[in-house]
Amino acid sequence: MYIKVLAGKIHRARITDKHISYMGSITIDPDLYEAAGLHPWQEVLVVNENNGSRLYTYIIPGKRGSGEIILNGPSARLGEVGDIVVIMAFAYITPDEDVPPPKAVFVDENNKLKEVMDYTLPEE
């Protein structure tokens, strides 16, 4: 048996554009997805904090250093430019494995890298 755990996330980025007639996906600045330990073509869950929508799609590389977060294809109808999103990827592990701490990427209001941290549980 496997369990699904958070592998990495980009926290509270802003949608910078949307392309409805594109085939699909989310375009992300490589500086951001690489800092979170994510990869092109990897499946991600995108949660829109403005409207509550959740969608699964895959990453395609944007222009490095641009801060771009672009919803493409039909999923572009689930967000507007300026909406705040959390982009998460997951991994499967066995229940007896230690859960590796996921990378959490924090950005500023222009989606520029502000902080990267290992996302850990609070001490008990």
The catalytic residues are 25, 58
Beta strand pairing status for 26-28 and 54-61?
Answer: parallel
Alpha-carbon distance of 89 to 102, in angstroms, equals: 9
Alpha-carbon distance of 12 to 22, in angstroms, equals: 24
Q: 40: how many CB neighbours lie within 10 A of its CB? A: 13
